[in-house]
Amino acid sequence: MMNRVLRAKLDQYAPSNAVEQDNILQEMMQHYVLAGLARAGLFKEAIFHGGTCLRIVNGINRFSEDLDFLLKQPDPRFRWQPYLEAVRKDCTAEGIVFEVQDKEAVNTAVRKAFLKTDSIGKMLVMDLPFERYAARKLRIKLEIDTNPPAGTVFATSYITFPVTAALTTQTLESSFALKLHALLCRSYVKGRDWYDFVWYVARGVRPDLELLRNALHQQGPWAGQQTSVFWPWLIENLRTVIGRIDWAIARQDVQRFLPSREQEGLMLWNAAFFLHHLSKMEESTP
C-alpha cells in the first residue's frame, strides 16, 4: 500500500532525470517529517520558514534540502529530542525508518538535528523512473533558532500529503526580511538565496523592514549597531553585495535544485540581471 501511495505521488511530480527524482523523493520525506512534527505539537511553539517552506507552502519552483524553524518566543531550554522521537515512531509505522542524529549544542542558539533514511529501495521498493542506488540515504537537516529576532508575523498553512496537517509559517513579508538578512550578511555565496530574491521581487513582496532591522542588530556585520534600515540604505547595500558576487559560483549552487525547464534561465545570471530586479524592488518602495 505504502509503495503505491509514494509511486502515485512521484508520478504527479513527473521527474525528468535522476537528480530531479532524488529531489522529489527527499521532498516527499520532508512532508512526512512535517506531518509528524505537526502531530507532535511543534507548531504550538515554532514557526516553519526558509526555502523548504517557500517550496512546500508557497510553490516556489526550486527544491530545498533543510527544514528551518524559529521559536515564537526565545527559549534556551528547547530540545529536538522529544519531537524527533515522535516523528521516528510515526514514520516507522508507515514503513519509513529514520536514523536520528541529534546535533544539539546547548551553548548555541541554533539547534540542529539530522534524519536519514535508506528505506526507499530497501523496505519501500518502488519501480522508479530513473535508476537509483538502493542503499543511498536521503538526509534531512532540521534547524531551529531558539533566540530569533523579534517581529516575525506568522499564519497558519496546511499540507495535505501524507495527511492533512496544520503548520505555523512565516508571512512572505517576514520571510523576505530574513532572506534579505542572509543576502546582506552571509559570508559565502549561496545561489539559492538569490533565486529566492528574484521570486519575492517578481511577486511584489515588500519585506518587513522592522524585522530586518532586528535581525541585523542581532547577527552579522551590523550586530550591536543602531542601523537605520530604510529603503535607500537597503537598496544601496544590496547593490554593493550584487557587485561582488561570483555569479558562476551562484549558478552552480542552485542548479541541481531546479527542474530541467529552468536550467537555461541560469545563463542570464550576472550583476546586470540582479541589478534589474533590484530596480524593480526599488520601484515598489512606498
Q: Confidence band (pLDDT; 50, 70, 90) for 104? A: low
**What is the tens place of the pLDDT at every residue in 68-95?**
999 999 999 999 999 999 999 999 988 8
Q: Confidence band (pLDDT; 50, 70, 90) for 181? A: very high
pLDDT above 60 (res 30): yes
What are the structural domains, with CATH classification, of the chain?
Answer: 2-170 (3.10.450.620), 174-283 (no CATH)
**What is the tens place of the pLDDT at every residue in 112-149?**
999 999 877 555 556 777 877 666 789 999 999 999 99
Which stretches does DSSP call E strand in 103-232? 110-117, 138-145, 154-159, 165-170
- Per the CB < 8 A criterion, the answer to whether 71 and 78 are in contact is yes
Strand bridging mode 46-49 / 138-145: unpaired
Of 134, 171, 177, 172, the closest CA to residue 153 belongs to 171
Bridge partners of 112, per DSSP, are 143
- Residue 234 grid cell: 537597503
- Percentage of the chain beyond pLDDT 90 is 77
Q: What is the pLDDT of residue 113?
A: 94
pTM value is: 0.93
Q: Confidence band (pLDDT; 50, 70, 90) for 56? A: very high
Q: What is the pLDDT of residue 9?
A: 85
- Per the CB < 8 A criterion, the answer to whether 85 and 101 are in contact is no
* 36-50, 122-136, 222-236: least confidently modelled range: 122-136
Helix (H) or strand (E) holding 100: strand 99-102
| Residue 69 vs residue 4, higher pLDDT | 69
